């Protein structure tokens, strides 16, 4: 509020929006109280560093803004440097000494806008730019590029509302056995029915959800809905096959994750063995013993684990064998390139051979043509998923698909 009031009156002003890198990790590892304490200490430091006549405010979350009156670009850069110096000293909280990086975004009036709102959005967009280029970086708002980030900022707030407004829903893609085409599983894929953009694919918003922490409520929604749908589909006559749910690394690392899974199972009455979690290799790469322990807890509860997009990361073989996995999903890029490229085919073969040795089930993603399926069958792959068999579909369409392709329960 204060930022806004003061900015409007001053045409020559620099706005620095400040986002402390790694704040979310603080609240995740040390708790909300520690997070609040950190915010307060950061505010103190910003206040102590602010020149006379500057106005200071917290915009939202861990985003602060400073308005420098009469400021120009040079003054803004000087102040950014003063801030980096001020934040070099660690912050003491909950028995920990934290050194937090800063990402600073700078917008200058009148070049980047002449009202508080526009300047704050521009500076916020530049913060994103800075954040993306690494810790302790400052970025100026660049109108052309900034508009992309501005779009992203808009998406952020819209996504927040989408969850409450019921704009998110799930589509389900069939997974079949290669030797007889039998239905062996379903994968739940989230979709966003955006009020003006139409149906938005997860590639356009999962990253935003992860950056903003929205992935947590979004992930809970997906788990709950996927379990409920699995039970409904089986009641409607589909074979009772496992339902796969994509889980992002951020979700999986949280302490509240397993209770969320248990709650989704309980609320739906779905058997744990009929739920599969798809983790990506990046989860394992940060593979600490902690992660292994988590995976074992999941498996002990009877829930299955698959590694998604396999072949794109760097999982160590030793690790894979200790992990207690159920299956590997061969990344669709290899399946797509397999027929033209001997190298891609080699990778597919190697993954299949490895899966056999580790006694894991192996499924190929992105199977678009009959030839892909035939080829994979020859290579000894167990299962397949892709447009050739069926696209991701909503429940009613999926039931139609199962009926018309003779895949309903006898």
Site of tokens 């997974």: 175
Q: How far is the CB of 293 from Mg ion (least distance, A)?
A: 23
- Is the separation of the CB atoms in 127 and 139 below 8 Å? yes
Q: Is 338 in the site for ligand C2E (CB under 6 A)?
A: no
Site for ligand C2E in 300-329 (CB under 6 A): 308-309
- Could you tell me where the beta strands, DSSP code E, fall in 262-357? 275-280, 304-310, 327-330
Residue from 246, 268, 315, 361 touching ligand C2E (CB under 6 A): that is 246
Task: Give the range of 11-19, 122-130, 176-184, 364-372 binding ligand C2E by CB under 6 A.
Answer: 364-372
Q: Taken in order 316, 321, 325, 330, is the CA torsion positive or negative? A: positive
Q: Is 373 in the site for ligand C2E (CB under 6 A)?
A: no
Q: Is 35 in the site for ligand C2E (CB under 6 A)?
A: no
Site for Mg ion in 340-369 (CB under 5 A): 365
d(CA 268, CA 242): 14
Q: Is 281 in the site for Mg ion (CB under 5 A)?
A: no
Q: How far is the CB of 176 from ligand C2E (least distance, A)?
A: 12
Residue from 222, 305, 323, 381 touching ligand C2E (CB under 6 A): that is 222
Query: 28 or 246, CB closer to Mg ion?
Result: 246
Angle between helices 116-132 and 143-165 (to 10 degrees): 100
Query: 136 or 405, CB closer to ligand C2E?
Result: 405
Written as one string, the DSSP assignment of 135-199 is SSEEEE--HHHHHHHHHHHHHHHHHHHHHHHT-EEEEEEEEEETTT--EEEEEEEEEEEETTTEE
Between the two ends of the chain, the Cα-to-Cα distance in Å is: 64
Task: Give the range of 273-281, 349-357, 370-378, 386-394 binding Mg ion by CB under 5 A.
Answer: 273-281
Site of tokens 């889980």: 247
Q: Is 362 in the site for ligand C2E (CB under 6 A)?
A: no
Site for ligand C2E in 155-174 (CB under 6 A): 173
d(CA 407, CA 238): 7
Reported as half-sphere exposure (CB side, CA atoms, 13 A), residue 191 has a value of 15
Query: 102 or 190, CB closer to ligand C2E?
Result: 190
> Which CA distances in Å does 129 have to 19, 142, 201?
11, 9, 23
CB atoms within 10 A of CB 3: 21
Query: 14 or 335, CB closer to Mg ion?
Result: 335
Q: How far is the CB of 364 from ligand C2E (least distance, A)?
A: 10
Q: Taking CB within 5 to 8 Å according to partner kind, which of ligand C2E, Mg ion, none is near residue 206?
A: ligand C2E
Residue from 96, 154, 201, 297 touching ligand C2E (CB under 6 A): that is 201
Nearest CA to 191 out of 399, 329, 397, 402 is that of 397
Task: Give the range of 68-76, 142-150, 198-206, 338-346 binding ligand C2E by CB under 6 A.
Answer: 198-206
Q: Taken in order 377, 381, 387, 390, is the CA torsion positive or negative? A: positive
Residue from 149, 175, 246, 268 touching Mg ion (CB under 5 A): that is 246
Query: 137 or 248, CB closer to ligand C2E?
Result: 248
Binding site for ligand C2E (CB under 6 A): 173, 189-190, 201-203, 206, 222, 246-248, 278, 308-309, 332, 365-368, 386-387, 392
């Amino acid at each position: 509020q204060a930022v806004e009031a003061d900015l409007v009156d001053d045409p020559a002003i620099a706005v620095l929006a400040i986002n402390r890198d790694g704040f979310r990790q603080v609240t995740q590892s040390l708790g909300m109280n520690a997070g609040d304490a950190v915010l307060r200490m950061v505010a103190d430091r910003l206040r102590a560093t602010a020149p006379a006549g500057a106005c200071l405010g917290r915009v939202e979350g861990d985003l602060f803004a400073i308005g420098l009156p009469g400021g120009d670009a040079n003054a803004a850069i000087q102040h950014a440097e003063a801030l980096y110096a001020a934040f070099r000293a660690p912050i003491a909280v909950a028995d920990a000494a934290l050194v937090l990086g800063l990402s600073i975004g700078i917008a200058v009036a009148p070049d980047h806008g002449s009202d508080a709102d526009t300047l704050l959005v521009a500076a916020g967009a530049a913060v994103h730019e800075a954040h993306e280029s690494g810790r302790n970086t400052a970025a100026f708002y660049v109108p052309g590029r900034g508009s992309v980030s501005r779009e992203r900022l808009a998406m952020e707030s819209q996504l927040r509302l989408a969850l409450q407004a019921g704009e998110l829903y799930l589509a389900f893609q069939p997974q079949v056995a290669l030797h007889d085409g039998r239905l062996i599983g379903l994968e739940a894929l989230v979709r966003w029915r955006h009020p003006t953009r139409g149906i938005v694919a997860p590639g356009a918003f999962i990253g935003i959800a992860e950056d903003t922490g929205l992935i947590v409520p979004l992930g809970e929604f997906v788990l709950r809905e996927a379990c409920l749908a699995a039970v409904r589909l089986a009641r409607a006559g589909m074979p009772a096959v496992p339902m796969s749910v994509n889980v992002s690394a951020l979700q999986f690392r949280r302490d509240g994750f397993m209770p969320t899974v248990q709650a989704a199972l309980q609320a739906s009455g779905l058997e744990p063995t009929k739920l599969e979690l798809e983790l990506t290799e990046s989860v394992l790469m940060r593979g600490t013993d902690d992660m292994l322990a988590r995976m074992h807890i999941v498996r002990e509860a009877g829930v299955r684990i698959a590694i998604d997009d396999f072949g794109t990361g760097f999982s160590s073989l030793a690790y894979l064998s200790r992990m207690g996995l159920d299956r590997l999903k061969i990344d669709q890029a290899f399946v797509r390139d397999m027929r033209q490229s001997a190298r891609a085919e080699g990778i597919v073969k190697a993954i299949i051979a490895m899966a056999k040795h580790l006694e894991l089930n192996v499924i190929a993603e992105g199977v678009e043509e009959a030839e892909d399926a035939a080829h994979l069958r020859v290579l000894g792959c167990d299962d397949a998923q892709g447009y050739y068999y069926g696209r991701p579909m909503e429940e009613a369409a999926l039931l139609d698909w199962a009926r018309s392709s003779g895949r309903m329960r006898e």
